[in-house]
Amino acid sequence: MCYKNKDRRPADCESAAGADWLKFIVGVFILAGVIVFFSSGYTPPGVFGEVLRHNQEHKIDASPFFYGDVENMTEYEEGVRQMREKAKEKSEL
């Protein structure tokens, strides 16, 4: 920020850099707090927590990693390559 405004004194630049670090550290603490909160096992009351409680009771792993795991990914990637080649051939005609 300091370099955009030529009228700023070096002291202003140092305080701006300090404010940037302060924002970063506060953000890290907030992020850590959110991670600790959600990893504590707390489930929201009512309907919003019903799915989470059900998954915990039946030991169902429904994390984002669970949904991101796709079997036979190399076969799917090869199929996508073939479809793209066919689409490219059709568009060139």
What's residue 85's pLDDT? 93
pTM over 0.85: no
The tens-digit pLDDT sequence of the chain (93 residues) is 455 555 555 555 666 667 888 999 999 999 999 888 878 878 788 887 888 888 889 988 777 666 666 777 788 888 899 999 999 988 887
DSSP assigned state of 46: T
User: Among candidates 53, 23, 31, 51, which has minimal Cα distance to 41?
Assistant: 53
What's residue 28's pLDDT? 97
d(CA 42, CA 54): 13
What's residue 26's pLDDT? 95
